[in-house]
Structure 1
């Protein structure tokens, strides 16, 4: 088999050199089927990575994307673990694909599904792949996609640096606190309080328009800082006082109450709201503090989770698409 593979690869290289890319593509597929049938997954991965990269670099986008998707199939069918090496191969091909390549989005989604298959606890995809995708999109100045992927990683320091660049490049001066507040709240909704703390500290230290603190000049930054401290104690009364005292800052973005409602459920034992009326978010906290949060009639009800939504910027001043977090 090895001798036969070498002969096919030699012919394939001659096709590449002569510009016969269609024939080269078919030869790569032939070798892929041989390796897959023999369950030689490592050999198939190397072959498809090399073949896809070669074709993409020669602007054979359709053929190169086809081999890239086959690569993800091998990773998934072979249940290949997510490592720096395998994630690098995936992102390497993603980097070569043009932004307007129709298969780029499908390829990335397929790669994320592979990581979920081998690591089911990573419901939105493995943090290693998200981190590398975040770096790639940041390099491309696609801050929206970079932010999304960093939110599903544990790389708070690079995310903070990216957010500073994002705000100073495209944000308004009045949004300096909104950029980081939204990010911290979303990390907490994803139950990643360690990265939430890292990104807050790194952002406030790096941003040129944020004075040294705490305390900070902007009330919303103080609220986030106190909230992160309150998580350690887990006392509902402290959480309630914070939300009450900083209600004016919280009201600057309608989504904050949804995030805080979820945070209250996850970290402070606040029951989910039964209706959209009856006092709303703050009324729900007061009910809990007064001991009115339990009701036997609702003991069998199912709790619906509040979605973690990701607006482009806190005030969404630009016409870019909104990304949903899983």
Structure 2
């Protein structure tokens, strides 16, 4: 079989050298079927990766993407575990797929993420290592929305914070300095990634040229996020409730914040999910939880150190909605 494969590969290279890319594509597929039939999955992966890379470099985007999708099929069929080498292969092919010429580029990426979920089901949104590499790639392409999405499903808070600073300073308004990081931290907390939420907040606030000093900060919303991260350590519902009440004006700048905080309350502070909208919404649900709490420990007052900086000021009315993550 090895000798036969080498002969086909030699013919395939001649086709590529002569510009006969259609014939080369068919030869790659023929070898793929041979390897798959013999369950030589490692050889099939290398073949498809090299073939896809070759065709894509020659701007044969349709044929190259076809082989890339077959590569993901083999990873699935072989139940290949996520590794540095395999995720590098996936992202290398994604990098050389022209965004305008490869309509299946997004389908390819989604298929790759589904493969990582199938072999690592604990990663419900896809493996964080693949998301991290995709985040870096889209950041290099200045596709900040896609980069932000993938970084949210990784654990790379430092690079995400650096990307957000670049994103905000190049495309955001001065009044949105706090909005960019606030939504990101809240989304990380909804994904129960408390450690990365803390890293991205600290890195962003220390590195952003328009965030002066702190904590405490000039921007009330930044103070709210800072206190929220501190409150998570204690897990006391009374602290969370008073914090949200004191910063109600800052929280109201973006209607999605209350949805995130409702989820955070359920995840970290034992707030029950609201049964209906008639209960008074987010703040009404918090009050109901406090009144119905029979544990005296939860009703302890806030520490003096947290009280003085909780007086909010009227925030800027400018805001911009960023992409959301699934709260389920």
In structure 2, stretches of 5+ residues that fail to align are: 295-317
1:79 is displaced (CA, Å) by: 0.8
Q: Counterparts of 2:134 and 2:324 in 1: how far apart (Å)? A: 15
Does residue 182 (structure 1) correspond to residue 186 (structure 2)? The answer is: no
Q: Counterparts of 1:323 and 1:256 in 2: how far apart (Å)? A: 11
Aligned to 2:99: 99
Give SS of 1:277's match.
Answer: helix
Please give the TM-score of this superposition, normalised by the length of structure 1: 0.91
Q: Counterparts of 2:320 and 2:95 in 1: how far apart (Å)? A: 27
Q: Counterparts of 1:18 and 1:288 in 2: how far apart (Å)? A: 73
Q: Counterparts of 1:205 and 1:77 in 2: how far apart (Å)? A: 46
Q: Counterparts of 2:229 and 2:324 in 1: how far apart (Å)? A: 25
Q: Counterparts of 1:156 and 1:11 in 2: how far apart (Å)? A: 48
Aligned to 2:232: 231
Aligned to 2:22: 22
Greater than 6 Å deviation, 4+ residue runs: none
1:84 is displaced (CA, Å) by: 1.3
Q: Counterparts of 1:124 and 1:229 in 2: how far apart (Å)? A: 27
Does residue 64 (structure 1) correspond to residue 68 (structure 2)? The answer is: no
In structure 1, stretches of 5+ residues that fail to align are: 294-313
Aligned to 2:319: 315
1:315 is displaced (CA, Å) by: 3.0
Q: Closer, same or farther in 2 for the Cα pair 1:316/1:217, shift >3 Å? A: closer
1:316 is displaced (CA, Å) by: 3.1
1:213 is displaced (CA, Å) by: 1.4
Task: Give the root-mean-square deviation of aligned CA atoms.
Answer: 1.4
Aligned to 1:286: 287
Aligned to 2:315: none
5 Å-filtered alignment, 1:3-42, equals 3-42=3-42
Structure with more relative contact order (C-alpha pairs < 8 Å, separation 6 or more): 2
Q: Counterparts of 2:319 and 2:63 in 1: how far apart (Å)? A: 41
What's the CA shift string for 1:121-156, capped at 9, x where partnerless? 111100010000000000000000000000000000
Number of residue pairs aligned between Structure 1 and Structure 2: 303
What's the CA shift string for 1:277-302, capped at 9, x where partnerless? 22111111111111169xxxxxxxxx
1:37 is displaced (CA, Å) by: 1.0
Aligned to 1:90: 90
Q: Counterparts of 1:220 and 1:11 in 2: how far apart (Å)? A: 64
What's the CA shift string for 1:167-201, capped at 9, x where partnerless? 00000000000000000000000000000000000
Q: Counterparts of 1:278 and 1:73 in 2: how far apart (Å)? A: 49
85-94 or 283-292, which deviates more = 283-292
Q: Counterparts of 1:275 and 1:131 in 2: how far apart (Å)? A: 38
Please give the TM-score of this superposition, normalised by the length of structure 2: 0.90
